[in-house]
Amino acid sequence: MPSLQKVLHFLGGCLLAALEVGLMGFGMSDSWAVSKLECASQGSDGLNSTDLYNGTADISLGLFSLVVSRDSCPSFGATNTYATFQKLVAIGGPPLILHSLVVSILVVSLITSAGTIFITFYNSVSNPYQTHLGPSGVYTCSACSVIFAFLALVLFLVNVFATNMWQDIVLNEVKVNLRNVTVSMRLGFYLLIPSLVMSSLAIVVIVLYQHVAYTHQKEQQRPTEDAPKEIMMY
């Protein structure tokens, strides 16, 4: 049976990994970014007259759902909800590729986090050590989860700020002139940050356990010169 110290450390790592999966899973189901664009009917002199841009388009983007709300853009209001991939497939190009990469990478990150949960829980009730089901397995799974999740954050930021995704989404519905695109991040995006922290802390907890276990082992293997002379005589 594992020692109480090992049980507590690995259960702590298991709890942290479970919290990471919960935060990431909830975040993936929520909105990640919203954008607001000013619009005017095509054919108007939008470059010379700011009064003609009296309409707006608001877009709420999640990993799997997309809401487009148009107010006087071009003439009447309308709110439409789509599956994100449905709209991005219609657009094509970099937005679709980057979004597909983000979702795929996050799925891999979730799988590796689930691996961390399994390994830490298994170690809390059994006694494998120095194997792929020991601390090295935790380090590998947690590190992969952190790397993949961070890469997903970067790719998502590139998609929303460095491509014409927002304009293409609106233009896929109506032909209008667009300007002044503003973008702000939402809860789903920010929840990925504490999930990264949780995965990193899972690594720290196991590192601390290994340090304590190594110190204890060294104390039990003190050199014979530290032993009393009476013992050495025998």
pLDDT tens for each residue of 198-212 = 999 999 998 888 766
pLDDT band at 123 (very low <50, low <70, confident <90, very high): confident
Residue 215 is predicted with a pLDDT of: 65
Q: What mean pLDDT value characterizes the chain? A: 85
Residue 102 is predicted with a pLDDT of: 97
Query: What is the average pLDDT across 66-90?
Result: 89
- From CA 159, how far away is CA 157, in angstroms rounded? 5
Q: Which of 83-92, 152-161, 210-219, 225-234 has the lowest mean pLDDT?
A: 225-234
Query: What is the average pLDDT across 81-97?
Result: 94
Residue 233 is predicted with a pLDDT of: 44
Query: What is the average pLDDT across 114-120?
Result: 93
- From CA 123, how far away is CA 133, in angstroms rounded? 8
CATH number of the domain located at residue range(s) 4-207 in this protein:
1.20.140.150
Q: Which of 42-46, 79-83, 135-139 has the lowest mean pLDDT?
A: 42-46
pLDDT band at 72 (very low <50, low <70, confident <90, very high): confident
- From CA 49, how far away is CA 28, in angstroms rounded? 41
Residue 216 is predicted with a pLDDT of: 57
pLDDT of 98 above 60: yes
Share of the chain above pLDDT 70, in %: 83
Q: What is the model's pTM? A: 0.84
Residue 51 is predicted with a pLDDT of: 53
pLDDT digits (tens, 9 = 90+) for 150-176: 999 999 999 999 999 999 999 988 888
Query: What is the average pLDDT across 45-63?
Result: 74
